[in-house]
Every structure is written in structure tokens, then in C-alpha cells.
Structure 1
Amino acid sequence: MDKSKKLLISKILLTLLGTIIVILVLKYLPNLLQLTVSIDKFRNYILSMGKLGPTVFILFQILQTVIAPIPGEVIQIAGGYIYGDLLGSIYTIAGMLLGAIIAFYFARFLGGSFIGNLMKKKKFQWMIDMMDNKKISVILLFFFLVPGLPKDLLIYVAGLTLIKPLRFFGILLVGRLPWLVASVSVGSNIYQKDYTSTIIISVIAVLGFILGLIYKDKIINKFYKLGKSTDE
């Protein structure tokens, strides 16, 4: 099979997958959000699925990464609360990576005009400049590492750049791993009633998140100027 046919098949499959996800989310989003309000309720729902529980949990993480307005931290903490540190981390990371793959290739093959129109808004101008920055890999790693900075939309943005997929997913994994594991650990500690560890991890995470929010605009402006100076 030649390259053009493979590309066409990939586009068709991605379109079908995207359509199915959108339909399911629109239909079941209220119920999904209601489930994630209570960590105990979410745990009971996942466990009630029996052997399909891990698959359903991973699907929740995929939806959170791709389009659904489900708080990521809730799903990640629930991973540890339901499955413990090891399995919770594995399932959470698997869902995050699968969701990122869908978002990345959607933007690369199908969503160029959609994402481009979205980023025409003034508040996303810095992302447009960042796309052409020669230091895109370093910038992406930094944004994935720092709490409080926009992350999920950057996956779509990266799909519009020339960055190699394996390189991007490696950066994504390295940047997101510490906080994903920390969130899972919080859930595991809550279930085991190890509140000391939970408080320590939570305080560190909250401080990081607050600092990220406080300095978010300064960081974005710095990379915005860096993008301009690189082009000059």
C-alpha cells in the first residue's frame, strides 16, 4: 500500500473516531461530569464494570485529554484511589498518551483549519509564534512541567508543527509524568488514610500550581518575545 493510500485511510479512521467521540460526549457528558463529582461514586462506578473497569477508566482519561471538560486532576487522583500507585499510574499515563495521540494526529491530519481559527483569538497569539520557534521542544517541555500553564491545547498546537511525533510524545511523557504520578499518589494515600503524605504532596502541588498561575502571563510573554526575536 502506497503512502497516499495509508494517509487517506488514517484520515478516514481519525474522522470516524473523532465523530464517535463527539457524539458520545455530547450524549453522556452530563452523566460523566456527575460521576466525577464524588471520588467514591466514581470508584464504585469503575469497580462495578468488573474486568472492563481499567478500560473504562482509561477512556475517561482519554476524553479528559481530548475534549471533555472533565478536571484532569480528579481522574488522576481517582486512579490512585481505585487502583493504587502502580496500576493507577499505568492506567492514567496510558489514557493520557492515547488521548494525546488522538489530539496530535487530529490536528496534524484533519484539524489544521479548526485549530488555526481557534488560535486567531488574541489570547492565543503567543501559541502561533511558538509554533515557528526553533526552540519548540524546550518550550513544550517547560510548559508541560510547570503547573498552571495550558497543556491540552498545546497538544493540538504541536500537531500543527513539524516536530516528530515520537519526539513530541517523549517530551509530553517526561513533562507530565511527575505531576501525574503525584496526583495518583495522592489518591492512593487518601484511600490508605495516609494523610501526612497526602498533605505534603498536595501542598507542593498547590504551591507549584499557584506559582504557575501567578507567573503564567510573564512566562507566556517571554516566549512570545522569544518567538519574535528568533524570527528576526
Structure 2
Amino acid sequence: MKGPGARQKSPWQPVILIALVAFAVAGVQLSGAREYLQQDRLRALIGSYGTLAPVIYVLIYSLAPVLFLPALPLTLVGGIVFGPLWGVVYTIVGATTGASLAFLAARYAARDWVAARLTGAKWERLDSEVAQHGWKVVAFTRLIPAFPFNLLNYAFGLTKVRFAHYLLASFVCMLPATVAFIVFSSSLLDLLGGRVSPALLAGISLILVVVLVPVCYRRRKARQGGFAATE
């Protein structure tokens, strides 16, 4: 039985997102709204807030996993506002901090509440795998999504994995998807303005890799009856 926010996310959601962006581009071009979406103007506006802007962004991103809020919209905003370099830095810091807060909440503050929502063979097997393989399971589930991400952060807090190992594995293994989506979103306003940049093509390629590798892996493991195929 799955708890609140535990609905499995479709692995094709990023691909659907790209299709929606394509429709948005057409809408902007037809409506004549491109003059209001100048990336330089937007970044200059955000820059006028100084260090407060990235602090607020990281803070909001840190709270998203704790509150079971979707992180993808925030990631896209990070790329648009801060660009490919600082967007990755601020986003991975926020994502890692949020995952850590959920972990610590489950381990020290809300253990009973989390345990009541993590019932069934799937979660019992996760606990057993962590007991045997430790941080490697954290790394595996970050790279090959087999569980709802936000609830997974809490679930690891109930396992015996060391916090330092969880923190490092989460940081490293969330980086590929973070880089892919930030590189993509950093060129979104250019795309809405009708210009296809190399960064945009690179971002789309990276997203496809991030999406298709787990899909192919899980299908392979499903045929073999492996851990990743557990539902």
C-alpha cells in the first residue's frame, strides 16, 4: 500500500514535457509575446536581488521533497534564471538538502508516521537490500528510479544506511538528471523566442539518455525478475 504522494511517476514524463514546450514555442511565436521573454532582461531582474535570489531558490527547493512537492518545475526555473552553471550548482544543493531533510525527519522526528506509510513487500525488500548493500542501493535508486522519489527520501531514513553515505550517494547520483534538465531549461527562453541553441539540443539529448537508460534497464530486469522490476 502506498502513502500520500507515492504515485509512481511515469518515466516518459520528461518526453511529454519536451512536447509541451514545443507547443508553447508555437504559441509564443503566434501570439507575439517573445519580446516579453528576453532571457537577458529576466536574468538582470533576478540579479538585482543579489545573493538573496539563489538563497531563496535553494530554500524553496530544499523544502519541496519534504512537502512532497514536484521538483521538475523548480529545476526548469533554476536553468532559466541562473543559467547552466549556477543553475546546476543551486539545484543540486537544494535537491540534496531536501533529500537529507526528509531522511533526517524520518530517522529522528517522524519515524512512526513514515513507517505507517511504508508497508508491503516492496518497501520490506528495500530495507533488506539496504541492510545488505548499504549506500549502493541509494545510488541505484537515484540512477534507476524504481520508487516515488519524495517518499523514497523518507524511506531511507528508516533503514540502517549511514547518513554520510546517503548524502554522498544522493548528491553524486542525482547530478546526471540535474545537469540534463538544467542544460535544457537554460535555453528555454531562446527556444520560445524562436532560436534553437546547441545547449538546447544537448539538453534534449541528455534528457533522452536519462529517461531511456532506466527504462531499458528496468525492462531488462523485469524479464530477469530483478530488484528494479519490483512494483
Q: What's the TM-score once normalised by structure 1's chain length?
A: 0.65
Query: How much does 1:224 deviate?
Result: 7.8
Q: Which of 201, 204, 212 lines up with 2:203 in the alignment?
A: 201
Q: Secondary structure at the match of 1:132?
A: helix
Which ranges in structure 1 are unaligned for 5 or more consecutive residues? 1-37, 227-232
Distance in structure 2 (CA, Å) of the matches to 1:147 and 1:198: 24
4+ residue runs over 6 A deviation: none
Distance in structure 2 (CA, Å) of the matches to 1:141 and 1:109: 22
1:61 matches 2:46: no
For residues 208 and 98 of structure 1, do their structure 2 counterparts lie closer, same or farther at Cα, with a shift above 3 Å needed? closer
Q: Which amino acid aligns with 2:123?
A: M
Aligned position for 1:84? 83
Kept after mapping to 2: 8 A contact 1:84/1:184: yes
Distance in structure 1 (CA, Å) of the matches to 2:150 and 2:133: 19
Task: State the Cα RMSD in Å.
Answer: 3.3
Per-residue CA distance 1:127-175 (angstroms, 9 max, x = gap): 2221132013222211101257532222211111121111110100111
Which ranges in structure 2 are unaligned for 5 or more consecutive residues? 1-23, 25-36
1:218 matches 2:222: yes
Q: Which of 118, 135, 138 lines up with 2:136 in the alignment?
A: 138
Which structure: greater helix fraction?
1
Q: Which amino acid aligns with 1:98?
A: T
Query: How much does 1:186 deviate?
Result: 1.1
For residues 211 and 94 of structure 1, do their structure 2 counterparts lie closer, same or farther at Cα, with a shift above 3 Å needed? closer
Distance in structure 2 (CA, Å) of the matches to 1:225 and 1:190: 34
Q: Which of 167, 170, 184 lines up with 1:186 in the alignment?
A: 184
Per-residue CA distance 1:44-84 (angstroms, 9 max, x = gap): 8x8398232212211221122221423x2221121121011
Aligned position for 1:97? 96
For residues 129 and 173 of structure 1, do their structure 2 counterparts lie closer, same or farther at Cα, with a shift above 3 Å needed? same
Distance in structure 2 (CA, Å) of the matches to 1:107 and 1:142: 20
For residues 82 and 189 of structure 1, do their structure 2 counterparts lie closer, same or farther at Cα, with a shift above 3 Å needed? same
Distance in structure 1 (CA, Å) of the matches to 2:175 and 2:76: 14
